[in-house]
Amino acid sequence: MFVTSNKVLEDIREQHSPSIAVKGCIETLEQGFLFLEKLPEKDYVAIVEPYFSSSIGQHFRHVLDIFHSLTKSRQIIDYNQRRRGHDVEQSKSAAMGEVQAIIQWLKEVNEEELLEPVTILTEVSVSQTESSAMSSTLIREITFAALHATHHYAMAKVLSKMLGNATCEEFGVAPATATFIREQ
């Protein structure tokens, strides 16, 4: 069994400040913003059937819903709250505005808030409506939201390429994958 001393844990926490995760999250959101800037408006709402059943706009709305869950409450983060059909699915500029607002919110969150405990609510069953409540911290959920965004960015990148658009090669690449690529 591996035992870690409190001193080692403290050293790790000092070297890996929550603010580094916020910086990475902002970087991820900025990637999304730059992708949207170059994407034609018509391609934002296009559905590439039969390969996809959702548009880039729907993927971005979903990503933004996760971030909105974080900005609404400091104690309970409810991932079940979604805005399906919201204007942000149809309007690239609305999505870009929301991305900018979330970046601003992240810049204003202080390190103490990042470490506070939160409870998350999320559905956990496909066959019936069942939610689970779990303990976490705001910084862990911000990190999750950024990694989750990257997953949807990868799908948006494929959709965009299928529609004939050039995309940045780094867009939709997870941080650990980017590190692996740099080390090759």
**Would you kindly state where each structural domain of the chain is located, as residue ranges?**
19-173
Please report, for residues 69, 84, 109, the alpha-carbon distance to residue 80 in angstroms, rounded to integers and kept in the order given. Answer: 9, 11, 23
pLDDT at 17: 72
pLDDT band at 78 (very low <50, low <70, confident <90, very high): very high
pLDDT at 2 over 60: no
Nearest to 158 by CA among 17, 48, 64: 48
Query: pLDDT-based confidence at 137, cuts 50/70/90?
Result: very high
| Chain segment 139-184, per-residue pLDDT in tens | 999 999 999 999 999 999 999 999 999 999 999 999 999 999 999 9
- Asked if CATH classification 1.10.3720.10 holds for the domain at 19-173, the reply, yes or no, is no
When pLDDT is cut at 50, 70 and 90, the band that residue 11 belongs to is: low
Residue type at position 168: C
Hey, what amino acid is at 76?
I
50 band by pLDDT with thresholds 50, 70 and 90:
very high
Please name the helix (run of DSSP H) or strand (run of DSSP E) that holds residue 175, with its range, or none.
Answer: helix 175-183
Q: How confident is the model at residue 53 (pLDDT cuts 50, 70, 90)?
A: very high
Of residues 9 and 81, more confidently modeled: 81
State residue 12's pLDDT score: 61
Residue 119 has pLDDT above 70, yes or no: yes
Please say if the pLDDT value at position 43 is more than 70.
Answer: yes
Helix (H, G, I), strand (E, B), or coil: what is residue 78? strand
Q: Which two tokens stand for residue 39?
A: 């994407």
Task: Pick 86 or 8 by higher pLDDT.
Answer: 86
pLDDT of residue 120: 95
Segment 43-63 shows an average pLDDT of 96
pLDDT at 9: 58
Per the CB < 8 A criterion, the answer to whether 142 and 25 are in contact is: yes
